[in-house]
Amino acid sequence: TINGVDVTLRGGHPVTAGLPDGYRFNVGRAPGVTLAVPIRGESLGTTQNYAGELLPDDPTLLSFGSYGNGAFLWLGFAGIDVARDSESQRVYQGILVNAIAALTQTPTAALRAWPNGAGSAFALAVLPEVGHQPYQFLTVMDVLLDALKAEQAPATFFLTTEETVYYPQMVTQMAETGEVALSADSDDLLAGQPASLQHRRLSNAVDAFQKQTGRRPVGLFPPGGLFDVETLKSAQDLGFTYLLDPAPTRREPTFIRWDRELDYRDSLLISGTPARPLVRMHQSELTHPAYWSNQTSTNAMIVRMASALKGDLDRVHASGGLFLYAFEPGLQALTQRRADVVEALARHARMRGSWMATLGEIDVWWRQRSQLAVRMTPGRRGDGFEIEVDNAGETAVASVGLTLRLYERTRDVLDIEGATWSLDEATRELHVLVDRVPPGSTALRVRMAPTVLSSSAGR
């Protein structure tokens, strides 16, 4: 509607548990409805207009907080204001269900987003740019590789086959540092070209890439980050498993939804979703671009940019999302100093305990995680809870993290059989780590201290 806005969810909260971090859903507000600026409450998301601009004073349509001895959820919209598509409705209803559980302090269990119970993930993607020659792309690569090795930070390097042919030794170094993925045969745009031409260009690029590197690429960043449905169909046909999308809409990966990507003509050509749909990686929303211009001092600019990026990473870490930073070495003149920023950023991510991985590793993990589901029920004897982790996949999943919210009963936990666990003193949440979840159902038991009933005299 003309009064509509987009609400972007913040993860890492009981009300948003299990919902996609950074999900943006469309709310058509009635005229005259006022946005709120939380005072005692806690905003669970940001609100922006349809152009993607945050509204002044950082108002919210979604707030959860405490008042007196109770708690509250405030929504600045009605259910009929939420977009009618199935995913928006699922997210909206998930908010209500989670809120009821939080308000009534109903114990809940949720899967953590990243392996080993990491609070967030950090990934670096090195991207070629349209209009830059291979030598410009690789000018600062020695400096960048040294910075990544110093912090033991893996990266994903997207290359055209021109770069793989001209600089084979550098490609070998990149593969030792992280993952080498594909852009195309050259930096000429794929989007908008006929389907047959796109498929032929990508097919030739895959063959050349395999000849130079000895393996087929699984990741794709189309030239300029631009693609259309024909690019996606060609990528699916050629065996790519993930796509980097520079549109910053999520803080976690998503699966390509063919029913949304195709129009009515395309939908006649494809029936159902492919068995292994592409995973879409989303570049992080960053606050730093202004620091590249109008700065009197180069050193001051670098310091301010590094500080801004660390702040961005902290916000993503707080919500439990993926911080995916794109490094474009041919774009800026101060590439050597920008490599220093990358080193500082990687060091900050490691200090935060982020899972540092290549996009290929994230792709594999996200597919495994999508096969998992968790449910928790009270124990039959009333002295704990039973947790079942279901794995619908065909292989075991390692290092699965769970978050348990038991509210006032948390202090009574004695043991969790089948897993290791720790208590977060700040949030009063139990963080559980299961070493291995084989196919089928894995049972865990939360054993708690028996409830002590006082005598009538004591009462």
What average pLDDT does the segment 52-65 reach?
Answer: 80
Position 118 pLDDT exceeds 60: yes
- How confident is the model at residue 389, as a pLDDT? 96
Per residue in 157-206, pLDDT (tens digit) is 998 888 887 788 888 888 888 999 999 988 889 999 999 999 999 999 99
Q: Give the full edge-to-edge strand order of the sheet including 413-417.
A: 372-378, 384-391, 440-448, 413-417
Position 79 pLDDT exceeds 90: no
Phi-psi region of 162 (alpha: psi -120 to 50; beta: other; left: phi over 0): alpha
| pLDDT band, very low/low/confident/very high, at 453 (cuts 50, 70, 90) | very low
C-beta neighbour count of 207 within 10 angstroms: 14
What average pLDDT does the segment 7-32 reach?
Answer: 84
Position 457 pLDDT exceeds 50: no
What average pLDDT does the segment 108-128 reach?
Answer: 92
By mean pLDDT, which of 174-188, 261-275, 362-376, 438-452 is the weakest? Answer: 261-275
What average pLDDT does the segment 324-331 reach?
Answer: 78
Percent of the residues in the chain that have a pLDDT greater than 90, as a whole number? 39
Percent of the residues in the chain that have a pLDDT greater than 70, as a whole number? 86
Position 375 pLDDT exceeds 90: yes
- How confident is the model at residue 456, as a pLDDT? 41
| pLDDT band, very low/low/confident/very high, at 253 (cuts 50, 70, 90) | very high
- How confident is the model at residue 339, as a pLDDT? 78
By mean pLDDT, which of 81-85, 235-239, 264-268, 323-327 is the weakest? Answer: 264-268
- How confident is the model at residue 455, as a pLDDT? 42
- How confident is the model at residue 427, as a pLDDT? 82
Per residue in 414-432, pLDDT (tens digit) is 899 989 999 888 888 899 9
Calculate the average pLDDT of the chain: 84
Find tokens 């292989």 and name the residue: 395
Distances (CA, A) of 334 to 123, 159, 296, 298, 331: 22, 21, 14, 9, 9
What average pLDDT does the segment 335-341 reach?
Answer: 70
- How confident is the model at residue 142, as a pLDDT? 80
Distances (CA, A) of 447 to 10, 409, 429, 442, 443: 32, 11, 16, 16, 13
Q: Where is pLDDT greater, at 29 or 141? A: 141
- How confident is the model at residue 99, as a pLDDT? 92
| pLDDT band, very low/low/confident/very high, at 458 (cuts 50, 70, 90) | very low
- How confident is the model at residue 138, as a pLDDT? 67
Decide: 180 and 189 in contact? Cβ < 8 Å.
no
What average pLDDT does the segment 41-60 reach?
Answer: 79
pTM over 0.75: yes
Distances (CA, A) of 345 to 21, 186, 314, 349, 356: 21, 30, 11, 6, 11
Considering Cα of 171, then 177, then 182, then 184, what sign does the dihedral take?
negative
Q: Where is pLDDT greater, at 130 or 207? A: 207
- How confident is the model at residue 372, as a pLDDT? 96
Minimal CA–CA distance to 29: which of 81, 74, 75? 81
What average pLDDT does the segment 377-402 reach?
Answer: 90
